[in-house]
Structure 1
Amino acid sequence: MSKSKPPQSPPPPPPSSEPPTSSEPPPSSEPPPTTEAPPPAPLSTEVPPYDPRDEIDSKVRAREQAFDFKTVQLDERGQIVKQIHTRVWQLVESLRGGVKLEMVRIPKGEFDMGASESEKDRNNNESPQHSVAIEKDFYFGKFLVTQAQYEAVMGEGSVENFNETGQYPVADISWDDTQKFCEKLTEISNKRESGLKLQYRLPSEAEWEYACRAGTTTPFYFGETLSPEVANYYHQGMNRMTTPKGKFPPNRWGLQDMHGNLWEWCQDDYHASYQDAPTNGNAWVDEPPNDIKILRGGSWNYSPTYCRSASRIRCNRDFRLSDDGFRVAVSPQ
């Protein structure tokens, strides 16, 4: 089986049609270095003044847990200028061997999907920017699916190069592999006697970007740029591999590694633009479905340009690559 993404020509200077997919690291678009020692960033508290569980089914509410955490904002130089303390709600799925799967509740809402015409390094396949309404709350993996979680669902030996901690994200996963994982996880979850029926799946591309942005309109959740303090991306040879879950701060909805670490599969077929795209948050799937799917988020092997909230690339559904992974979504039935 081929191990490379579909051939794509390197783009001219932005705006461009496609990001490169060669083994050479993409050009860097990082903030200029600074030798100044920044003062400690101020800490603010932004805990919702209401119980966001009010609108959900009582069976789901009975399984939710609150968790508190801190996130950060960066200035244009990549320095942390603000820390934010907040609270969200999650479901915790118990898997084999004591392994847990944490699913964060994402509130319904509207957002502008894609890159604005003024966004630096935008690609033509990120346009036209358009309004999308996520019509129902859903749950989204706090982390990329880890090696331990993958083996807890698919069985021992299902992960090559298993790290002894199991806390690294599982890589070399095809889109077809993710479908089998979601089917098996749904089967395991629904055997319980809680009466709660959950349907695990990949996120739609719209859900992914909505969750990544978490209410922001900047190129990255953290602001106008990234820094090695908040994400795992190609940075002067640093990391050059995946990093374990929990290493970097989450976004304001509690999701980690939405920028970098591994590209993340979405449910959608690839389309070269958003012309005629759904506006209700559903996956955009052709009839019959095609074999080219969407990946989001960038990876350890890509510069910040390709880790932006709006950035997107394509890949054959049966390809397994060292910088591809996934996280799951679920909607109560």
Structure 2
Amino acid sequence: MKKRVKGKSLKEIQPNTTYIGCTFYLDCVDGEDFVGTEFDNCSFRGIFCDWGRDEYGLWMGFTYKDVYQVMRWIRPGTFMIGSPETEEGRYATEVQHQVTISKGFWLAETACSQALWKAVIGDNPSQFKGKRFPVEMVSWDDCKAFTEKLNEQMTEWQCCLPTEAQWEYACRAGTTTAFSFGNRITKDQVNYSEDGAVEIKSLPCNNWGLYEMHGNVFEWCSDWYREYDISITVDPVGRNGGTDRVIRGGCWGDSSWSVRSAYRNRSGPDFRIQDIGFRFCLRSQ
């Protein structure tokens, strides 16, 4: 039986609860807390100022210096990372094996926009200029500085880059095909084999509400690059050190086989180019 709460100011959400006429001040919230909840005439304030459920799942929104960003809740789960040997265009480094993501996390529904980057960092290094375009010409080190600066302002959660396993799990969104859209893609679904980036949310999202996981710009991951260690099956991360960081998703200039869900690439953490950007995730402290 659901608990009913009326007319209160609250700083947390409890699962399996119906809230009526409440005001929430949420600096940090776990998506699992929303299981079985209902809201009637409630308002949201604090860092997370907006939320909702749709056909893709749970989302929360926050505003930073007038720039609005939507985050999607990625629930825990188990999937097959990598690609089968029969997949067209695969590399030997994509050894397929089972991986479990044991904890849910919030992931930005788009690559970081130039508007948000400028709001946090104060400049815009991108070649393809536009507030709604993904920021590019940013190194892994630059992205680390972005997350650290955002964390200084919002101390109740940790802003960071997703791990490579988290990234592919979110990209696949429950699919096992070469792309989240199936085993073939079109230019109406993915920005690839083109001359430049396009605006975020220009193309269809995947089954979990995430846009442009394939193509447009590569996205930095937190891991140091290494060959897969198939013995690590729960929350794998890269090696403790190295020379290259993982980049995922392919880019606007790549062929279709380079924007597959399993495709892996790497670059030095100080490397910048006009086809690499990033999307960030949030975890509770």
Which bracket does the TM-score occupy, shorter chain normalised?
Answer: 0.7 to 0.9
Deviation at 1:330, TM superposition (A): 1.1
2:225–2:246 CA contact under 8 A, matched in 1: yes
Distance 2:100 2:71 in 1: 21
Task: Look up the equivalent residue of 2:58 and give its one-letter code.
Answer: W
Partner of 1:183: 148
Q: Could you tell me how far 1:282 is from its partner in structure 2?
A: 3.8
Once the 2 structures are TM-superposed, how far is the Cα of residue 278 of structure 1 from its aligned partner?
A: 3.1
Cα separation, partners in 2 of 1:162 and 1:67, compared to 1, 3 Å: farther
Partner in structure 1 of residue 64 of structure 2: 95
Given the alignment, which residue of 171, 183, 203 partners 2:162?
203
1:185: how far off? 1.0
The answer on whether the counterparts of 1:147 and 1:162 sit within 8 Å (CA) in structure 2 is: no
- For the pair 1:216 / 2:175, whether they are aligned, the reply is yes
Q: Deviations over 1:10-42 (max 9, x none)?
A: xxxxxxxxxxxxxxxxxxxxxxxxxxxxxxxxx
Match of 2:102 among 119, 124, 135: 135
Q: Structure 2 vs 1, CA of residues 118 and 160 (structure 1 numbering), >3 Å: closer, same or farther?
A: closer
**Equivalent residue for 1:167, pick from 132, 138, 156:** 132
Distance in 2 separating the partners of 1:161 and 1:310:
27
Q: Taking structure 1 as reference, are residues 198 and 54 closer, same or farther at Cα in structure 2, changes over 3 Å only?
A: closer
Whole-angstrom CA distance in 2 between matches of 1:117 and 1:312 = 15
**Match of 1:147?**
114
| Whole-angstrom CA distance in 2 between matches of 1:169 and 1:284 | 26
Q: Larger strand proportion, structure 1 or 2? A: 2
Q: What is the rounded CA distance, in whole Å, between the counterparts of 2:86 and 2:33 in structure 1?
A: 38
Supply the AA of the counterpart residue of 1:225.
R
The match for 2:210 among 255, 265, 268 is 255
> What's the secondary structure of 2:93's corresponding residue?
helix
Residue 94 of structure 1, CA deviation: 1.1
TM-score normalised over the length of structure 2: 0.81
Runs of 5+ in structure 1 lacking a partner? 1-49, 69-85, 191-196
> Distance between the aligned counterparts of 2:187 and 2:215, measured in 1?
10
Q: Secondary structure at the residue paired with 1:187? A: helix
The root-mean-square deviation of aligned C-alpha atoms, in Å, is 2.2
Shift in Å, 1:160: 4.4
How many pairs are equivalent? Answer: 247
TM-score, structure 1 normalization: 0.70
**Residue of structure 2 in register with 1:243 after alignment:** 198
Contact 1:92–1:100, Cα closer than 8 Å, also in 2: yes
Q: What is the identity, as a one-letter code, of the residue corresponding to 2:106? A: Y
Deviation at 1:66, TM superposition (A): 1.5
Three-state SS of the structure 2 residue aligned to 1:102 is strand
Q: Secondary structure of 2:180's match?
A: coil
Distance 2:231 2:248 in 1: 17
Higher relative contact order (CA 8 A, sep 6+): 1
Change (3 A) 1:109 1:162: same
Query: SS of 2:52's equivalent?
Result: strand
Match of 1:294, SS state, is strand
User: 1:56 offset after TM fit, Å?
Assistant: 2.6
Letter of the 2:185 partner, please give it.
Answer: L
Cα pair 1:102 1:142 within 8 Å, conserved: yes
